[in-house]
Amino acid sequence: MSKNKPKLLVTGISGFLGSYLPIVNNNQWDIHGFYNHSPINPDAVAHTIGQQHQVSLIKTSKVNLLEPTEVKTALAAIQPDAILHLAAQSNPNYCEAHEAESHAINVAATLLLGEYAATASIPFVFVSSDLVFDGTKAPYSETDTPSPISVYGRHKVEAEQALLQVYPDACIARCPVMYGLPAWGNSFMSNWIKNLREEKPVYAFTDEYRTKVDGQTAVEGLFLLLRKHAKGVYHLGGKEKISRYDFAVKMAKAFGLQEDLVKPSLRADVKMPAARPADVSLLSDKAYALGYHPDGIDVTLARIKNFSLVE
């Protein structure tokens, strides 16, 4: 049965966004996922997200995207009908201190995959970020000129531009900060909930605004872009602009945790290697017109709370 479905290659299957693939796929694609250091344990995952049959249908292989020969061999064996490129070094502070490493995975690997997709003439969706903007002129639409203020943001812009040069039909999905309790991968929300459950304070910025969405909604948006054969740049922001602090308070409330343990702080209070833009809210009307419909944050948090089996 699965041989009739189109093959989707997903890089970064072992990351935060990759964890939502089994839930969102719903039998649309025959998924082949690449991981590097973190193999997925189908049994452990099945227990966490309650989707055993779908998780076990995902085929995974270890492919280091920094090794072109390895990548080309794997692509030739799979012959995907479409590629969703999630893999990245996604930590801006790490990128700031490891510029060459960031360039290799965030730019060079994207280009390598984009060149393959161009030659094969298949849909290619690359996940970029709201951090391509400097945060001084929000909200940002797809036609605003990028103005990154960190190595990570600069490398996302470089990857976007290089990709569109080698493959003008490629699609770039700029995602905002994403939340959720993923079945695997890192999540700031999981860490916050753990702290609040242990009655430890959570410090959150009152002066940093984003149009956040949850991981599942973002992956639904990415699947929509693939299904519609979208080309060019799309923003996949949520419909509400919210500060990190206000989000943390909403989250504590939704999970029945102590709201007064959420403490306000300012970006200037915390010294970090990468500069953090104040407000990179995204205007996402182009994606909304295509059928992307993020729910509000309260509704989404309630859904995550009900769905979560994690204690």
Ligand X SMILES: NC(=O)c1ccc[n+]([C@@H]2O[C@H](COP(=O)([O-])OP(=O)(O)OC[C@H]3O[C@@H](n4cnc5c(N)ncnc54)[C@H](OP(=O)(O)O)[C@@H]3O)[C@@H](O)[C@H]2O)c1
Q: How far apart are CA 201 and CA 101, in angstroms?
A: 34
> Tokens representing 238?
């949520």
Binding mask 57-76 for ligand X (x = CB under 6 A): -------xxx----------
**Closer CB to ligand X, 1 or 65, in the complex:** 65
Residue nearest to ligand X (CB): 15
Q: Closest CB to ligand X among 64 and 265? A: 64
With binding defined as CB under 6 A, does residue 178 bind ligand X? yes
| Residue 300 makes contact with ligand X by CB under 6 A | no
Report CA torsion sign: 154, 158, 164, 167: negative
Q: How far is CA 53 from the centre of its chain?
A: 24
Q: Does 86 bind ligand X (CB under 6 A)?
A: yes
Minimum Å distance from CB 121 to ligand X?
A: 23
Contact of 130 with 140, CB cutoff 8 Å:
yes
Mention every residue, 6+ apart, whose C-beta is less than 8 A from residue 17.
Answer: 86, 127, 175, 178, 185, 215, 218, 219, 222
101 vs 259, which CB is nearer to ligand X?
A: 101
In the bound state with ligand X, the residue whose beta carbon lies nearer, of 108 and 120, is 108
Non-local (6+) Cβ contacts of 288 within 8 A are none
CA–CA separation, 240 vs 258, rounded Å? Answer: 23
The nearer residue to ligand X, 25 or 36, going by C-beta atoms, is 36
Question: Who contacts 203 (Cβ-Cβ below 8 Å, separation ≥6)?
Answer: 263, 264, 265, 269, 270
Q: Which is nearer to ligand X, 258 or 274 (CB)?
A: 274
C-beta of 123 vs 185, nearer to ligand X:
185
Please choose, out of 52-60, 160-168, 172-180, 193-201, the segment that lies near ligand X by the rule CB under 6 A: 172-180
In the region spanning residues 95 to 134, those forming contacts with ligand X, defined by CB under 6 A, are 105, 127, 129
d(CA 221, CA 210): 17
Among positions 37, 76, 77, 306, the unique one binding ligand X when judged by CB under 6 A = 37
Q: Which is nearer to ligand X, 4 or 76 (CB)?
A: 76
The minimum distance between CB 48 and ligand X, in angstroms, equals: 16
Figure out which of the listed residues 9, 10, 17, 24 binds ligand X, where binding follows CB under 6 A.
17
For residues 37 and 12, the answer to whether their CB atoms sit within 8 Å is: no
Helix (H, G, I), strand (E, B) or coil at 199: coil
Q: Does 271 bind ligand X (CB under 6 A)?
A: no
If the CB atoms of residues 123 and 215 are measured against ligand X, the closer one turns out to be 215
Whole-number minimum distance, CB 296 to ligand X, in Å?
18
Q: How many residues bind ligand X (CB under 6 A)?
A: 27
Cα separations in angstroms, 304 against 20, 128, 258, 261, 308? 12, 24, 18, 21, 6
Residues 193-222 that bind ligand X (CB under 6 A): none
Half-sphere exposure of 118 (CA within 13 A, CB side): 15
Q: DSSP string covering 43-61, please?
A: HHHHHHHS-HHHHHH-EEE
CB of 109 to ligand X, least distance (A): 7
38 binds ligand X (CB under 6 A): yes
DSSP character at residue 282:
B
The residues of the shown chain that bind ligand X, judged by CB under 6 A, are 11-12, 14-18, 34-38, 64-66, 86-88, 90, 105, 127, 129, 175, 177-178, 185-186
